Homo-oligomer: A and B are copies of this chain.
Amino acid sequence: MTKISADKKKVCKNFDENLPRVGVVGSGSFATAIVKMLVENSEKVHWCVRNEFVKGAIELRGHNPVYLTSVSFNKENLAITTDINELVSNCDVIVLATPSIYLSDAIEKMTCDYTCKIFVSAIKGIVPKVNDVVAHYLRDEFKIGFRCQAVIAGPCHAEEVAMERLSYLTIATAEDKVGEILKKLFASDFINVHTSKDILGNEYSAILKNIYAIGAGMASGLGYGDNFAAVFVSNAIREMEVFLEAIYEEPRDVNESAYLGDLLVTAYSLFSRNRSLGNLIGKGYTVKSAIQSMNMIAEGYYAADSVYKTGKEKGLDLPIINTIYNILYEEKSAEKLFKKLTLKLN
């Protein structure tokens, strides 16, 4: 108990006077983009990467050897490790930015004391192990309450962050004070930060948009055009609203950038893996062969299963989610199901 209160004090002190010590877990493109954002404000950013090869390469060359290779770091600003306990011990704020399927591998090695630390999820997917969102996984498995959590949302292609093109982030926290502190960590010339209190809404929205991006890709692969894509997206945002309201009541406008903006950037991006997966399936690949041929993780694939089941449990009318689920998991014909779906859209 003494330790915890001492920690509490320390964290609060840090938070009041200085920027908190911050670290990032993950070495994919979004993790790398986040490190790039953070070095704008923090002299030292801790970075827990996947393995010694990545660590060595960054230390040697000052850039990630695999993702966002164009981003050069000043090595003095980075403290790179492959040990999550080292990272967590040295930080007050820990940004989780692995693909969702690797999160449990990374974080379950955490044996150090993490009381009073803030865990920020930049993960946009379901944790397969528990078939639930990160916020619930952290709360249930690690006893990290919502007051010690934050979610980063917003339309934010890592590639554009690399180019320092103006991007907007929404940081959702239960406590305003935590939101303001995180804003100071992330805001810069090329990152505009807004705060929100809608932790679960922002997390689910980021997950849902990946499923809708698979659908947008399916439509495109099936030969539907831009007129239909616009109808599809405008139905998707309304369906998302239905889902979010059922999950977590909170005054929100789904047309804010964190919800609609993020959906747009994903559904309209030709570089989205989720959209690409859908496109292959629309073109006639089987789901299995589409997944294999991509050799990348399409978060929306796992999310579709979880969100479909949640929707069913809650008795929600989600025609787009149901269509995508049935194509991905029930081997139904994309062509036939989309034809049926077109009659339900308006």
Contacts and interface: CB of A to CB of B under 8 A. Distances in A.
B346 A234 contact: no
B260 A167 contact: no
A165 B234 contact: no
Interface stretch (A156-164, A277-285, A286-294, A320-328): A156-164
Contact of A261 (B230, B261, B269, B342): B230
A121 to B, nearest CB: 19
A333 interface: no
A320 to B, nearest CB: 13
A225 B264 contact: no
A316 interface: no
Given A156-B227, A167-B228, A227-B165, A234 B264 contact: yes
Contacts of A231: 154-155, 167-168, 257, 261
Interface in A224-257: 224-231, 233-235, 237-238, 241, 253-257
Contacts of A262: 230
A345 B193 CA distance: 11
A123 B345 CA distance: 24
B260 A228 contact: no
Contact of A237 (B163, B260, B268): B260
A161 B264 CA distance: 23
A198 to B, nearest CB: 13
B234 A166 contact: no
A342 B241 CA distance: 26
A223 interface: yes
A314 to B, nearest CB: 21
A44 interface: no
A165 B225 CA distance: 6
Given A238-B253, A257-B235, A342 B192 contact: yes
B230 A264 contact: yes
Contacts of A167: 225, 227-228, 231
A87 to B, nearest CB: 28
B155 A227 contact: yes
22 contacts: A155-B227, A156-B227, A160-B226, A163-B225, A166-B224, A167-B225, A167-B227, A168-B227, A168-B231, A168-B346, A192-B346, A226-B265, A226-B269, A233-B260, A233-B261, A234-B257, A234-B259, A234-B260, A234-B264, A238-B255, A241-B255, A255-B255
